[in-house]
Amino acid sequence: MNNTAKIRTVSIFFIFCSLFGIAMVHLYGLQIKQHSFFSDLGNRQYYLTLTTYPERGLIFDRNGAPLALNKESTAAFVMPHQIKNSEVLHTYLKKHFPNALEKLKEKKDAYFLYIKRRLTDAEYQSIVDEHILDIHFLKEPSRFYPVDTTATITGITNIDNQGVFGIELFYNSQLAGTPTTAVLEKDARSGLFYFSKKTTSEGVIPTPVSLTIDAHLQFLVEEELLTTINKYQVSQGAALVMDPDTGEILALATYPTFDPNNTESLTTEFTKNVAITECYEFGSAFKAFFALAALEEQVVTPEEIIDCEYRKTTYIEGRKVNTVESTIAGPISFSEVIQKSNNIGVAKVAKRLGDPLYDHYKSLGFGTKTGISFPGEQSGFLMPVSRWSAQSVISLSYGYEVRCSLLQLATAFCVFCNDGYKIQPKLILNEPTKQIPEKIYSTEVIHTMRDILQETAKHGTAKLAHVEGYITLGKTSTANLLEKGQYNTHKNLYGFVGAVEKGSYKRVIACFVKESPRHNLYASTVAAPLFERIAEKTLLHDRIW
């Protein structure tokens, strides 16, 4: 073999070796270094992961009437990288959805862009009528609320059907459930045929929530609340009805409120359930709890004569005490002091009682959350003894230096209707009791206070709250509102807390409205009549003749 042949043979050998080496390096890259990538690519050709979301759980009232239902909503979207007629699309969006047009200009290369979710019927029909071919539709789950009077209780869901406040938020996990994930094996060529299905993650079926609320009674209570709201042009108000034996809340109306099916321009102010999430110094309603404490501590008797001095203003141990003109009195019994709501008489007994008043208010639940199953509940504020001034015990005796919610006020008042037992309010039907009812006051003192509060409703400051033919007890509550560290005598809260009973039937009702532009108003003429109307509607609704 000549040299030329040898060189040619060696060259061919090295060429084949080089090609073999390149092939080996390439195979190493495919089978070893990029194994995961190509394995995943193959799986995507043969397997499909399917995630199925369950329908959101429903919310019902105590009688099974639906308060929150599911429905399909329509979303409009475009695929920016596939737009066929941008001029027509831009012209339409500029007129009807200008915000979407701005987003489209910013994201020209996006694969998917929402124009709007939860389209109104008019918006959907407009797109259809204009034949905008670049706008596509997508069906999505959403909520519908058939009873708008429970809006601040049920709350709403957001655009992704997740709860944002109210019961929808508090029980979001229970109402939403969890999705089921499954892997499908398919025909890689056509993608039309599936051979097997394997569930990799089993979802949890949503559980509905039933409230203690009676939807029909809720409507009646809100109707009466709005009558007072409109009459006195107040900025805020609330009313609730509860069973003092079980703690179940049967109605919980608030103002301002909103339409839960139209929330485009909704602001936080309208979403609050002010009976639970807002706290105030309620004023004279606390005289009922002060009197309860004074009698329990035996610092006074119902018949003891207290000198109210026939005056509007006096000084007690150097502290100025004012009482309303209509409550001015001379020597009267302690029972009459509470019935007339005389601040001078109350203050004199309060000085005897002293520090134990704090313990009594605390035991009634003031300064502590009730533990109701609802988001945003406030604990309120009760001035601790260590921070008391010489004025504090007097202020506390008639409802200042203590802030509470309407719910806390009503819950505390239940002790007068259930023989001195402290109960926990409930908003969820058949909810297990979190706390065992505790008897915190003697039967004798409770009976004495019931007599005082009944007389208050018959002949005292609460006489406009009396319901003829039924046992009525209660206490009015007129209070100045705190503004920039000072009490504004022109901004007031008008409240009432009481009960209506017949035989074994009992209902505790509490209500308040605040900040009316009208002057010379009192709880006795604003809130007491509201209580009376709510009580009558409740009795008629429950058919208590």
Closest C-alpha to 391, from 402, 404, 401? 401
Furthest C-alpha separation in the chain: 144
pLDDT (0 to 100) of residue 193: 46
Do 346 and 425 have their domain in common? yes
What sign for the dihedral angle of Cα 189, 190, 196, 202? positive
| pLDDT for the residue 292 | 98
- CATH number of the domain bearing residue 309: 3.40.710.10
pLDDT at 63: 97
Residue whose token pair is 């002790």: 415
179 and 139 housed in the same domain: no
pLDDT at 190: 47
Token couple for 136: 């596509």
The CATH number covering residue 189 comes to 3.90.1310.10
Cis peptide preceding 384, ω within 30 of 0: no
* Inter-CA distances, 275 with 254, 280, 524, Å: 7, 10, 20
Q: Are residues 198 and 248 in the same domain?
A: no
Rounded percentage of the chain residues whose pLDDT exceeds 90: 72
27 in helix, strand or coil? helix
Residues 18, 27: Cα–Cα separation, whole Å: 14
| pLDDT the model gives residue 140 | 86
pLDDT digits (tens, 9 = 90+) for 58-86: 999 999 999 999 998 899 999 898 888 88
* pLDDT for 82: 83
Q: DSSP strand E in 187-323: where?
A: 194-201, 209-210, 236-242, 249-255, 305-307, 313-316, 319-322
395 by DSSP, 3-state: which?
helix
d(CA 56, CA 70): 7
The helix/strand count (H/E) of the chain reads as 19, 21
From CA 362, how far away is CA 359, in angstroms rounded? 5
How many angstroms separate the CA atoms of 393 and 299, rounded? 14
- 175 and 246 together in one domain: no
Residue 39 domain boundaries:
3-48
Q: How many domains does the chain have?
A: 4
pLDDT less than 50: residues of the chain: 190-194
Query: How many CB atoms are located within 10 Å of the residue 12 CB?
Result: 10
Domain boundary among 210, 230, 252: 210
How is residue 419 written in tokens?
């023989």
Question: How confident is the model at residue 264, as a pLDDT?
Answer: 82
pLDDT score for 181: 77
Joined together, the tokens standing for residue 284 give 């004279």
* CB-CB contact of 288 with 438 (8 Å): no
Same domain, 81 and 205: no
pLDDT score at 110 = 81
Same domain (yes/no): 128, 199? no
Return the pLDDT at 320.
Answer: 93
Provide the pLDDT for residue 197. Answer: 57
